Amino acid sequence: MSRLSPVVMSMGDPAGIGPEIILKAWNSWRQRDNACPLLALGDPDAFTALAARLGLPAPRPVATPGDAHGVMDDALPVLDVGISLHAPLSPGSADPAHAACIKAAIETGVRLCLDGQASALVTAPISKAVMYEAGFSFPGHTEFLAELCAGHPVGGPRGPAMMLAGGGLRVVLVTIHEALARAIELITPERVEAIARLTDSALRSDFGIAAPRLALAGLNPHAGEGGALGEEEIRLLNPLAAKLRAAGIAITDALPPDTMFHAEARASYDAAICLYHDQGLIPVKTLDFHGGVNITLGLPIVRTSPDHGTAFAIAGQGIARPDSLIAALDQAVDIAECRA
């Protein structure tokens, strides 16, 4: 058995596919030799009812994270977060009444990681619209996690920053869920520099890469074509890249985004700094649509997530694929072992 503490999995929105992929991931995971134990966080009744529909062994409630070691081989260990769903669970039908339990599962996962009772947190997808209706005030998971971890040292540059990994490609986003016009306004030298420094640090501490190589994506077609198609590369990005290289960070000048993601190009760097959402997510999802992983950099805890949403349209049908969650578990264990 792995020497790591359990990897905990917050249930996500129970009306989505989160509980289903957690059960399926556990069923696959338990067949591995010396696997790190897993522990689900949420309302045990939701997992029990779903396991019966899927024909899987009934999950087993546990009192402490340490109890997962003795349960893992036979049943999915579930830790009750102390708040029930407070509403009937209808797959595919999101309900703001579930928000308190969803939030409590995330909070419990962070606390267990900060206390050293868990080695990593893997979060199943939530619906931001549902959370907003219940008064949730954060743009998403990442910002909420950053708030929960505030005040705890990170041992390097503080995030959060979003890395997406899949198909042998890692990308880190300078801007995330912003309208494109607003994202361009937010691409400042200070913001790009902070992301590049955080990525360099995380590749060393979390991925064991002694001399990270970063590729910087340009903003304009053909990286501006020498200024003919835009001047951001000449005015902002390339001078910043030179500053970072002088500080010992191996980063390219701005590269044409349409030629930096093919196989030969990817072999020349360890992570790409992408300036806006689709610039990074399109290549990752093209390379590995079902196995992409969301990794949060710059936190004192290890946090990963499957790179997909709640999939309400297929919830409860038993057809959800756990590939991305399993990849997120693998990545979480690798990072936790690297930090350890």
65/300 Cα distance (integer angstroms) = 19
Structure tokens at 11: 């249930």
DSSP-derived secondary structure letter, 313: G
Mean pLDDT value across residues 253-272: 98
Contact 328, 29 (CB under 8 A): no
**Which CATH class, in words, describes the domain spanning 168-287?**
alpha beta
CA 305 to chain centroid, in Å, comes to: 4
pLDDT tens-digit map of 46-83 = 999 999 999 999 999 999 999 999 999 999 999 999 99
Structure tokens at 139: 């743009």
Contact 11, 44 (CB under 8 A): no
* pLDDT at residue 86 in the model: 79
Number of H helices, E strands in the chain: 13, 12
- Comparing CA positions, the residue from 38, 18, 160 lying closest to residue 101 is 18
CA-CA distances (angstroms) from residue 151 to 114, 120, 127, 147? 11, 18, 27, 9
CA 29 to chain centroid, in Å, comes to: 19
**Phi, psi values for residue 108, rounded to 5°:** -65, -40
pLDDT tops 80 at residue 1: no
* Structure-model confidence comparison of residues 140 and 150, the more confident one: 150
pLDDT tens-digit map of 207-251 = 999 999 999 999 999 999 999 999 999 999 999 999 999 999 999
* pLDDT at residue 110 in the model: 98
Q: Do domains 1-153+302-340 and 168-287 have the same CATH topology?
A: yes
- Comparing CA positions, the residue from 72, 88, 270, 87 lying closest to residue 165 is 270
Strands of 250-255's sheet in order across: 60-62, 77-80, 38-42, 7-10, 120-123, 303-306, 293-297, 161-166, 169-173, 271-274, 213-217, 250-255
pLDDT tops 70 at residue 2: no
337/112 Cα distance (integer angstroms) = 17
Each domain of the chain, given as residue ranges in start order, spans 1-153+302-340, 168-287
Averaged pLDDT score across all residues of the chain: 95
* pLDDT at residue 89 in the model: 85
- Read off the pLDDT band of 185 (50, 70, 90): very high
- Comparing CA positions, the residue from 337, 331, 336 lying closest to residue 302 is 336
Mean pLDDT value across residues 296-311: 97
* pLDDT at residue 298 in the model: 97
Structure tokens at 248: 């010992």
* CATH annotation of 1-153+302-340: 3.40.718.10
CA 279 to chain centroid, in Å, comes to: 17
Q: What is the pTM of this model?
A: 0.95
